Structure 1
Amino acid sequence: MQSVYSDSVAEYELLRSASGLLDYTGLGLVRIAGNEAAAFLSQVSTRSVDFLLEGQISSALLLNSDGTVLSEVLIHCNGADYLVEIWPAQAAAATEYLVAVGTTGVHDVTVQDVSDEYCVFGIEGPHAPAIAQKFLPFPITSLSYAGFVTTPWREGLELLVSRTGVTGEYGYKLHVPVAAGNELREHLVDLGARQVGTAAVDVCRMEMRFANLEQEAAGVTPFEVGLQWMVDFGHDFIGKEALVAHWEAGPPRRPVCWVASDRLQSIPDSGSGLVVEDESVGAVAHAVFSPRLGRVIGTARVDADVAAAGLKLTLEQLTRPVRTTGAPFLVATSFGVPLE
């Protein structure tokens, strides 16, 4: 995935007001099959897949044995088998992990890396449903969030179309065999989608407070990036024991969102200190400039006793004030656009 194709602010506006085209080059795709595929996925991910029906998608985490985050995944249920989708930045490590666990012989399962067999494109923005509709034989309203279908596109070729997204706007992904990748890309452009890079996507993700794991999750547990909602403690999974122990001991720092109190445009580095009256209380996890808010916004990990909204802190690196706030930072444009 390329960072910028033309201008990051213009690409951001495409996502918030029209339809951006995301090229998911490097996306990880792993097919899990076999008599114990469901049991295997429940072991390696923080959510059991026993409840998943064919055509449904579950978001979950893969954890290291010490409870720290390895990757976020989207698990597609095809009935007898599953397709695991992994964000490009975590794809190599997560794929290696799944293959390694799959070859231990504990479960009757086949783990196959099929990433090179498909091109995957995303379309996100208020106009995305009208484009996605062109590929579906039924009304777009019938495709629920976190759902997918396999549908014919042209003779001898099928697409996997899912309703997922990372910007808070309407979002869809299309999986196509790699030989037809360029053809599908050109067709999406003809339908009105315009290429956007990861820089614009990153801003949208932050505005919705969708955790950016490649920036925020190095060596931390789900609690420290606000992803405990993706952990189901009702089943056993790799890393659970360590995660429970970490929680019972009390995480020393908690995640918060913050917004610059003035029209600051300099973006602080990850790890930059946050202070109250010259006393260190935490550090910046990730920050971006939001064009719509006209402010730098970000996340941080701070001491538990200041992990609340409405508190004034100071960015040590820039000696500028920030205020902790709730999430999301703004309302996505699509919330005011009927899905038709």
Structure 2
Amino acid sequence: MPESVFQAISRVGGPVELLRNAQARPTIFPVTPEFTNWRSEQRAWRDSVALLDQSHHMTDLFISGPDALRLLSDIGVNSFANFQVDNAKQFVAVNHEGYLIGDAILFHLAEDSFDLVGWFMVLDWVQYIGETGDYDVTFERDANSLMRAPGENPTLYRYELQGKNALTLMEKVTGVPVPPTRFFHMTTFTIDGLEVRSLRHGMAGQPGFELFGPWEEGERVRSALIAAGDGLDLALIGSKAYSSANLESAWVPSPLPAIFTGEGMADYLRWLPAARAGSLAGSFASDDIEDYYLTPYDLGYGRSVAFDHDFIGRAALERHAAGPVRAKVTLVWSPEDVAAVQRSLLEPGLPAKYIDFPKARYGVYQVDRVLAGGKDVGISHDVGYITGEQVFVSLASIDATHAAPGTEVAVVWGEEPNSRKPAVEAHRQVEIRATVQPAPYSSFAREAYRKD
């Protein structure tokens, strides 16, 4: 039997110790890193049209059975009152104490049939509750390509088309006008004689379609899309650019899940394989794992919370909603300070922590301190470069009193002491000045992303 998270924590002495020195690397996207270069590829989803391959890095949890919707409603903070077939939603789950476990995209494929797509944190929780509770449901799990058995292919292909030419490309490849489709609603197209399902969605805050179907048909659909992109400046997007797309839409992909303490979690950690525990990186340091927990409100998910049904953690989440909550913002890092960090690699002495481009996260869960006047006012999450804006940014959750655009703060970059994670070299901590700006940072993503 593989080691469980509970056993791993017992072996090392605590969850922070386990995660801080875990050998799990930052999220890897197992596709071609660059087809041209990540700068040009980032620009494509703004200036023309981009084709991203999502088939390999996400996990699908197919949930079916007469109690499937009840299970999802019992766990999700979302409303399911009008959740029909061909709808999708950002599914958000919390623990019994109202702290965030994670989020994923939930597709309503057919009557009593759903596909929950995303990182494994929230998928694991849903499967555990379904298997240990009184639910008539079945699960089919399709792990990402890094976890899938050698030689096995994904169940589905999943492609993302984004950019101002995406609509034109879809009409060209299908030969018919694209029907009006509301944000996070699905429709069906015919591409090269194949039925293709589509979600109206955009990972980088740009107009887009998420296309999916049986894996065996994926290469034929991809070839048709590439052929139709001739004359529309279609760009194939590699993993480097794709990994940074969330910075523009302001989605935090992997907050630390609140699974290590609380009601019922000891049994869950005995069920959960240690290989899926993740790794913790950043300058925020506490021996109490609960200091790393977030509420959905801290990440701007308040719009998804619906107290119209009973769900795990509802009473606690109602208390969180009534108290002070943090605001999700974009922090624009000082160009001079970012340059100074990189310059330290060329100077005598111990350098600062290396900043990778376009994405600088060096653990599964990135948690850095945010200071104002020398005092902690929040945490910084995902961090990287946006070519279209020519800014280096991070997504952060900070106290409302410091969340106004233009507020000056500082991000503490690097670990002290240095952990033993593979992506951590010997380095010194530094403070990097930053300016608070809205999340999403781009005006298009803020103002037009969700328009119907």
TM-score (ref. length: structure 1): 0.83
Map of 2:242 onto structure 1? 201
Query: What does residue range 251-266 of structure 1 map to in structure 2 within 5 Å?
Result: 251=325, 253-260=326-333, 262=335, 265-266=338-339
Aligned to 1:212: 252
Q: Which amino acid aligns with 2:33?
A: V
Equivalent residue of 1:41, what SS?
Answer: helix
Read off the aligned partner of 2:209 and give its amino acid letter: Y
Q: Which residue of the partner structure matches residue 161 of structure 2? A: 123
Please give the secondary structure, in 2, of the residue aligned with 1:113. Answer: strand
Shift of 1:188: 2.1
Cross-structure match for 1:98: 126
Native 8 Å contact 2:102 2:255 kept in 1: no
Distance of 2:67 and 2:249 partners within structure 1: 36
Gap change, CA 1:107 and 1:215, over 3 Å in 2: closer
User: Where does residue 372 of structure 2 map in the other structure?
Assistant: 276
Alignment CA distance shift 1:256-1:330 (3 Å): closer
SS for the counterpart of 1:60 is: strand
Does 1:159 pair with 2:196? Answer: yes
Question: Residue 199 and residue 133 in structure 1: after superposition, are their counterparts in 2 closer, same or farther (change >3 A)?
Answer: same
Larger radius of gyration: 2
Aligned counterpart, 2:136: 108
Match of 2:266 in 1: none
> Any idea what SS the aligned residue of 1:16 has?
helix
Give yes or no for contact 1:60–1:72 (8 Å, CA) kept in 2: yes
What code does the residue aligned with 1:65 have?
H
The answer as to 2:395 corresponding to 1:299 is yes
Shift of the alpha carbon at 1:129?
Answer: 1.4
Structure 1 alignment gaps of length 5 or more: none
Partner amino acid, structure 2, of 1:117: T
Paired residue secondary structure (1:298): strand
Question: Which one of the candidate residues 210, 225, 240 is aligned to 1:188?
Answer: 225
Which of 391, 415, 437 is the equivalent residue of 1:325?
A: 437
Q: 1:241 to 1:84 in 2, by over 3 A?
A: farther
Could you tell me which runs of 5 or more consecutive residues in structure 2 were left unpaired when the two chains were aligned.
1-28, 144-153, 258-291, 340-354, 414-429
Question: What do the CA deviations read for 1:90-149 (whole angstroms, capped 9, x no partner)?
Answer: 1x3433333322223523333333563211111111111122234557521423321212
Q: Shift of residue 64 of structure 1? A: 3.3
Whole-angstrom distance in 1 between the partners of 2:395 and 2:308: 29
1:174 CA drift (Å): 1.4
Q: Is the 8 A contact 1:274 1:281 kept in 2?
A: yes
Measured in 2, the distance between the counterparts of 1:79 and 1:271 equals 38
1:156-213 per-position Cα deviation (integer Å, ceiling 9, x unaligned):
x43212211211111111112111222222222222243213432344422332x222
SS at 1:176 equivalent: strand
Q: Counterparts in 2 of 1:42-57, with a 5 A limit?
A: 42-57=73-88
Aligned partner of 2:185 among 138, 147, 152: 147
Letter in 1 for 2:296: P
Deviations 1:11-40 (A, max 9, x none): 101111112111111333333333333222
Q: Which has the higher strand share?
A: 1
Contact conserved, 1:256 with 1:325, CA < 8 A, in 2?
Answer: yes
Asked if 2 retains the 8 angstrom alpha-carbon contact of 1:68 and 1:222, the reply is yes
> What SS does the aligned partner of 1:140 have?
coil
Aligned to 1:8: 38
Q: Separation in 2 of the partners of 1:216 and 1:17?
A: 34
Q: Does 1:169 align with 2:197?
A: no
Superposed CA RMSD in Å reads 3.2
Contact 1:74 1:85 (8 Å CA) reproduced: yes
* Equivalent residues of 2:47, 2:164 under 8 A apart: yes
CA distance in 1, matches of 2:67, 2:175: 33
Name the aligned partner's letter for residue 106 of structure 1: D
Shift of 1:314: 3.1
Query: Of residues 310, 324, 336 in structure 2, which corresponds to 1:236?
Result: 310
Give the direction of change, closer, same or farther, for the CA distance of 1:85–1:138 in structure 2 (3 Å limit): farther
The structure 2 residue matched to 1:225, chosen from 299, 321, 325, is 299
CA distance 1:181–1:239, shift in 2 (3 Å) = same
Alpha-carbon separation, structure 2, partners of 1:292 and 1:194: 15
Indicate conservation of the 8 Å contact 1:99/1:112, yes or no.
Answer: no
1-structure distance, mates of 2:138, 2:445 = 42
Q: Normalization by structure 2: what TM-score?
A: 0.64
- Residue 297 of structure 2: SS of its match in structure 1? helix
- 1:182 is matched by which residue type in structure 2? E
Offset, 1:294: 2.3
**CA distance 1:112–1:324, change in 2 (3 Å):** same
Deviations 1:249-290 (A, max 9, x none): 545x54332223556545587544333333343342232222
